[in-house]
């Protein structure tokens, strides 16, 4: 099924005894790649035609950033180098794949008792590595990237984003950003949403960084960041725009702390709609390139690790203008 023929969000079936909608039957319940299905040969060819400068911009942080880790159970890796008369070998210990610039695989989050993408359960994932990051690695993530620079837009409106304050970004705001940039969203797009959070974080001292360590939930020690609004309407906006992936320069793509009344957007986007999420992306350099060229679309190329059954992967992502 192409993006153009996919049902609208309001046409998707409801989960039993729930107000949540799922897309498990759009590409079939045995599907392994979710929204990456939207990146077919036609979309790749169109994206390749966007390259006019030959300028390559990395979208990834160093693998040991953010340092220290923002969550107690995720710390930077340990890099071991072995030297000999023949040269060097190395290995990495304590390497969390949900660290630094990353893709969340479809194994990452389930939706309550209903399971993972396609309605799968833990035994399904353990038995045949269903929904592992290796499925995206085999396909590749190549398509039209669109930078939606919310940071710049809000500053121009005289309402700048505050990096350590919660601010929910709704679909209507993203539409206004796209219109201001002169870019029209198309099915299959990979959205890069810039909030400026990572720019701010990278300028902090180690003491200030340590003070940020916390949780995504409401309560004492909760992180506060701008990001996508958590309501179902935001999930509907992404689905109806035919987005194949959305990545951001903040902690969780969505606004933190999670608003319990709105819901945890990860649980709607990953297990119910199969939409690829990228976190901790480095967007300052691509924003500078886009504003200099006054063009906010480009070829985006990413190669997740071919790690069988992987729950995530370093982003390994580039924008080519």
Tell me the pairing of strands 190-194 and 141-149. Answer: parallel
**What does the pLDDT look like over 129-169, one tens digit per residue?**
999 999 999 999 999 999 999 999 999 999 999 999 999 99
Altogether, the residues listed in the chain come to a count of 321
Query: What pTM value is reported for the model?
Result: 0.94
Please answer whether residues 168 and 228 qualify as being in contact, where contact means their C-beta atoms are separated by less than 8 angstroms: yes
Class of domain 12-320: alpha beta
| Phi-psi map region of 188: left, alpha, beta (phi>0 left; psi -120 to 50 alpha) | left
**What does the pLDDT look like over 26-79, one tens digit per residue?**
999 999 999 999 999 999 999 999 999 999 999 999 999 988 888 777 788 899
């Amino acid at each position: 099924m192409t993006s153009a023929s996919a049902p609208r969000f309001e046409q998707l079936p409801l989960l039993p005894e729930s107000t949540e909608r799922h897309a498990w039957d759009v590409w079939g319940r045995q599907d392994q790649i979710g929204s990456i299905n939207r990146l077919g040969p036609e979309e790749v060819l169109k994206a390749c035609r966007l390259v006019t400068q030959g300028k390559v911009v990395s979208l990834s942080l160093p693998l040991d950033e953010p340092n220290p880790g923002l969550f107690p159970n995720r710390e930077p890796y340990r890099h071991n180098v072995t030297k000999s008369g023949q040269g060097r070998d190395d290995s990495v210990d304590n390497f969390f794949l949900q660290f630094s610039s990353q893709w969340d695989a479809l194994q990452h989050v389930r939706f309550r008792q209903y399971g993972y993408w396609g309605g799968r359960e833990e035994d399904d994932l353990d038995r045949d590595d269903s929904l592992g990051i290796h499925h995206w690695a085999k396909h590749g993530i190549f398509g039209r990237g669109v930078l939606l620079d919310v940071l710049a837009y809000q500053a121009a409106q005289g309402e700048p984003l505050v990096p350590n304050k919660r601010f929910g970004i709704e679909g209507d705001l993203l539409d206004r950003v796209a219109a201001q940039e002169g870019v029209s969203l198309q099915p299959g797009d990979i959205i890069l949403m810039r909030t400026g959070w990572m720019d701010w974080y990278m300028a902090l001292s180690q003491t200030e960084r340590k003070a940020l360590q916390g949780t995504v939930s409401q309560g004492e020690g909760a992180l506060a960041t701008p990001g996508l609004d958590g309501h179902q309407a935001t999930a509907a906006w992404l689905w109806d725009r035919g987005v194949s992936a959305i990545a951001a320069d903040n902690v969780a793509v969505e606004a933190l702390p999670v608003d319990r009344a709105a819901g945890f957007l990860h649980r709607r986007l990953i297990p119910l709609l199969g939409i690829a999420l990228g976190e901790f992306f480095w967007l300052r350099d691509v924003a500078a390139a886009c504003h200099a060229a006054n063009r906010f679309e480009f070829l985006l190329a990413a190669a997740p690790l071919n790690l069988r059954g992987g729950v995530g992967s370093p982003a390994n992502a580039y924008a080519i203008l």
